[in-house]
Amino acid sequence: MDEAIQTNWVSTVGANIDAVEMEIAAFTGNRYAVALSSGTAALHLATKLAAEKLYGQARTNRGTLAGRKVFASDMTFDASVNPIAYEDGEAVFIDTEYDTWNMSPEALEKAFELFPEVRLVVIAHLYGTPAKMRELKDICDRHGALIVEDAAESLGAKYKLNGQWVETGALGQYNCISFNGNKIITGSTGGMFLTDIKEDAEKVRKWSTQSREAAPWYQHEEIGYNYRMSNITAGIVRGQIPYLEKHIEQKRAIYNRYKEGLKGLPVKMNPFDEENSIPNHWLSCMLIDEGAMAPCARGERDYLYQSDKGKSSPDEVLDALAAFNSEGRPVWKPMHMQPIYRTSPFVTAEGNGRGRTNAYIAGGAADVGADIFRRGLCLPSDSKITEAQQEKVIEIIHRCFL
Ligand SMILES: Cc1ncc(COP(=O)(O)O)c(C=O)c1O
């Protein structure tokens, strides 16, 4: 970063940008990388590019997904799926599975039965745990659908595909990572688009710098964006890359200490496929067993819970931690439950996830995402947390279940 300032490359060109593109492309196993201002920018351009491949260039004042549906992970940050709306498309949210807390292959299969015309799927790896990519890719291949991979949270996490370890961020046609301040390595902000296709990388680079045509003046034939990473940001990312493995080791140690420390309580850690995946353990989470849930309820912005002997609830645990100045979080509230997406389609392993209960028939409807949101929480996971602080967190959680 200092070098960028000393050499006066304080711009969206420079040696740091070239270096981070080369290093991250090589690390993830992609041929091409385009450094951008955020993971959200990367997801927007990846989604737009996939849409343009599928449906052609849109008119200037229309999104490339106008009138189209896109399947998307449901339990994720809204930045994964908002680009579908930026491009005038409609997200169809695919329910989550319990094994990795990611997109359910069964629900995706059902979604293709309900909406066979869909050709684009946005898949996120939640909290650094790889999704079931072999199953998801097989389904997408069978239906001729492209994958935009949201690896914003999972840089450094690996998945075994056809017997070979592949980095997350190299599992879709277009792949995105984030260098936001809270990620496993950071540029304070920043993101990256990754692909093996040269002309697609060149297109994204062009779009990210206002879509200039080859003319002496600013000439435009398509809509452009100011989405390029700055050479200053790239300097911070470049300085962080050598620490990626160390950060993952720290996060893994945090996860394992929680796993050990919470043994004996009616809770489970966020799970992963031990045979076919190596998470980066970006966030450690826990899920309270159904039988150990104290009465609790959440509104749109507020919550209530009761204390109950031997039981607890995510908000009780979070409040107890907050009282000791320790920050946990609820897990991502699923997109299909969000007010802005309340009218969007939602598909579970049983089929259409909307309107599934019946006033005249007993029983509820499966909704794995809503269940994990109700029973789960993110534990304090900063790599700087000390063992003593973590012991304290573990003790507080134990006391919640007394
Ligand atoms: C799953 C997911 N997707 C996308 C993003 C967006 O990345 P950024 O904050 O760099 O725009 C984030 C995090 O911020 C994220 O967690």
| 180 within ligand 1 shell (Cβ under 6 A) | yes
Task: Say if ligand 1 is within 6 A of residue 187 CB.
Answer: no
- 154-158: average pLDDT: 98
The answer to whether residue 365 scores a pLDDT higher than 90 is no
Q: Ligand 1 centroid to 395 CA: how many Å?
A: 31
Confidence of residue 18 (pLDDT cuts 50, 70, 90): very high
User: What pLDDT, on a 0 to 100 scale, did the predictor assign at position 71?
Assistant: 98
- Chain-centre distance for alpha carbon 64: 23
Res 83: pLDDT = 98
Pocket test for ligand 1, best of 38, 44, 74, 77 (most atoms within 8 A of CB): 77
pLDDT the model gives residue 271: 98
The pLDDT of 14-23, averaged and rounded, is: 97
- Name the phi and psi angles at 93, rounded to 5: -85, 135
Residue 38 CA to ligand 1 centre (angstroms): 8
**For helices 105-114 and 133-142, what crossing angle results, to 10°?**
20
Q: Measure the CA angle with vertex 282, ends 84 and 145; round to 5°.
A: 30
Q: pLDDT for 59-104, tens place per residue? A: 999 999 999 999 999 999 999 999 999 999 999 999 999 999 999 9
User: What pLDDT band is residue 202 in, cutting at 50, 70 and 90?
Assistant: very high
The mean pLDDT value for 245-261 works out to 98
- Tell whether ligand 1 has an atom less than 6 A from the beta carbon of residue 106: no
The mean pLDDT value of the chain amounts to 97
70 DSSP β-pair partners: 91
**What digits encode the pLDDT tens for the residues 116-153?**
999 999 999 999 999 999 999 999 999 999 999 999 99
Q: Taking a C-beta distance cutoff of 8 angstroms, is the pair 316, 294 a contact? A: yes
Identity of the amino acid at 67: G
At 107-123, the pLDDT tens digits run: 999 999 999 999 999 99
Torsion of CA 190, 80, 280, 283, to 10 degrees: 100
Report the candidate in 154, 114, 111, 107 with the shortest Cα–Cα distance to residue 131. Answer: 154
Alpha-carbon span 189 to 233, nearest angstrom: 7
- Position 363 scores a pLDDT of 84
- Whether residue 152 has its Cβ less than 6 Å from ligand 1: yes
Any idea which of 11-15, 55-59, 219-223, 237-241 has the lowest mean pLDDT? Answer: 11-15
CB of 127 closer than 8 Å to CB of 272: no
40-68 as b/e: b if 16+ CB within 10 A: bbbbbbbbbbbbbbbbeebeeeebbbeeb
Share of the chain above pLDDT 90, in %: 96
**CA of 91 relative to ligand 1 center, distance in Å:** 17
pLDDT for the residue 342 = 95
191 Cβ closer than 6 Å to some ligand 1 atom: yes
Q: What pLDDT, on the 0 to 100 scale, is given for residue 235?
A: 97
H or E element, residue 210: none
Q: Scanning the structure block, which residue is given the tokens 């959200």?
A: 40
Domains of the chain, each with CATH number or no CATH: 2-243 (3.40.640.10), 245-400 (3.90.1150.10)
Do residues 148 and 46 make contact, with C-beta atoms less than 8 angstroms apart?
yes
pLDDT the model gives residue 364: 82
Span between the terminal Cα atoms of the chain, in Å = 51
